[in-house]
Amino acid sequence: MKIHEYQARNLFRKYGIPVPDAVVCHTVEEVEALVPDDGKLRVIKAQVHAGGRGKAGGVKLARTKAEAVENARKILGMDIKGYTVEKVLVGNAVDIDKEFYVGLINDRNNKAVTLMVSAEGGVEIEEVAKVSPEKILKVTIDPMMGLMDWQAREIAMRFFPDIRHARTAADIFRKLYALYLDTDSSLAEINPLVITQQGDVMAIDGKMNFDDNALFRQPELLEMREVTPDEQKEIDAHAKGLSYIKLDGTIGCMVNGAGLAMATMDMIKLYGGEPANFLDIGGSSNPQKVIDAMNILLSDKNVKAVMINIFGGITRCDDVAKGLITALDQIKTDIPIVVRLSGTNAKEGLEILKSTGLPTVKTMSEAASKAIELSKI
């Protein structure tokens, strides 16, 4: 789960990480009412769940009230990587002396949280990681001890020659780690962390993602959740025991198991088609799940053919076939459907499906080519 920058800043403030004051506005009128004509430099930032806002024109400076209003008008309603800007954050611009990057993430390899710090702040860290990875300092945090005082200080002193700045930065690292743990975060970034010309160390921009598996114990985070219509579809699917991700192709796929679902998408591509989605229905033959899954698939108007790929393990293919028949009875559609059943009791399953007249096949390759062929009719 993702949150907006202003929500991350609120969490930072709650944990004592210094952030400059700023206000969220939903309309141009709110910006007009907020900003006085005092000649101070202000920054107006789009609040969307996407990176690269600056590059997309979603972050603008304003010297006068008129300029602030004009820029808010430009940014509100703008589209950034498929997200419509509905909110802007308006605050005083900070006189920056130096910028740094600070981030915490879960490290798969070390099976621990890793702290990353870089003097290349204010730019996309993925770029830095690609071009000059040596410029990012990475420290694995001992899960038993947490980020220790001396450790945070030692790291901070490498980047902040002035011990006063280093102490504040070390304190910020530790507070960010506490926030990270408390909220079951999977990514917490301060980018940039700055030293101002006045000599203050503060967080100018923040980003936080959270572990979806832990949301059951994070009710406060759930209140911050905002989703796009496509994401809502994915969440609704999840509530029904389905895992769905919409793509742009024309072949709808329904598969049991995430890995097999991915392999199915790959196979469609390999045979010259484009998958319309990722859809894992899990390991059950429950007809209701198949009905729900079909409804989701068919609500995508790009879908020209459906490929159902089931490998029967514990779930027997004859049960799946019965589920499919019940489901297909309830769903009337002209979209061609190809069914592939393999594994436990596949023969019996295919026999049951014969009565439906649906094209049935035994292998994934056959299913993919057949579905692609039918999508072009």
Nearer to another protein, 111 or 332 (CB): 111
With CA atoms as reference, report the closest residue to 327 among 371, 355, 286, 366: 286
Q: Which stretch, 3-11, 39-47, 89-97, 306-314, contacts another protein (CB under 8 A)?
A: 306-314
Ramachandran category for residue 128: left, alpha or beta (phi over 0 → left; psi -120 to 50 → alpha): alpha
Q: Does 113 bind another protein (CB under 8 A)?
A: yes
Nearer to another protein, 46 or 261 (CB): 261
Q: Does 186 bind another protein (CB under 8 A)?
A: yes
Which positions are catalytic? 101, 189
Q: Which whole-number Å values give the CA distances from 96 to 4, 121, 122, 165, 207, in the listed order?
A: 23, 11, 11, 14, 19
b/e code 3-26 from CB counts within 10 Å (16+ = b) = bbbbbbbbbbeebebebbebebbe
CB 336 within 8 A of CB 305: yes
Residue 274 phi/psi, 5° resolution? -130, 120
Give me the 335-374 binding string for another protein, x by CB under 8 A, dash otherwise.
Answer: -------xxx------------------xxx---------
Q: Nearest distance from residue 128's CB to another protein, in Å?
A: 9
Q: Nearest distance from residue 174's CB to another protein, in Å?
A: 17
Q: Does 256 bind another protein (CB under 8 A)?
A: yes
b/e code 153-191 from CB counts within 10 Å (16+ = b) = bebbbebbeeeebbbbbbbbbbbbbebbbebbbbebbbb
Residue in the block written with tokens 């114990």: 217
Tokens linked to 50: 């996407």
Judged by CB under 8 A, the number of residues near another protein is 60
Which residue from 1, 265, 290, 324 is in contact with another protein, where contact means CB under 8 A?
265
Which residue from 108, 219, 229, 334 is in contact with another protein, where contact means CB under 8 A?
108
SS3 state at 268: helix
Q: Does 137 bind another protein (CB under 8 A)?
A: no
| Residue ranges binding another protein (CB under 8 A) | 103, 105-109, 111-114, 116, 125-126, 129-130, 133, 136, 138, 142-144, 181, 184, 186-187, 209, 211, 213-214, 216-217, 245, 247, 255-260, 262-263, 265-270, 275, 278, 283, 311-314, 342-344, 363-365
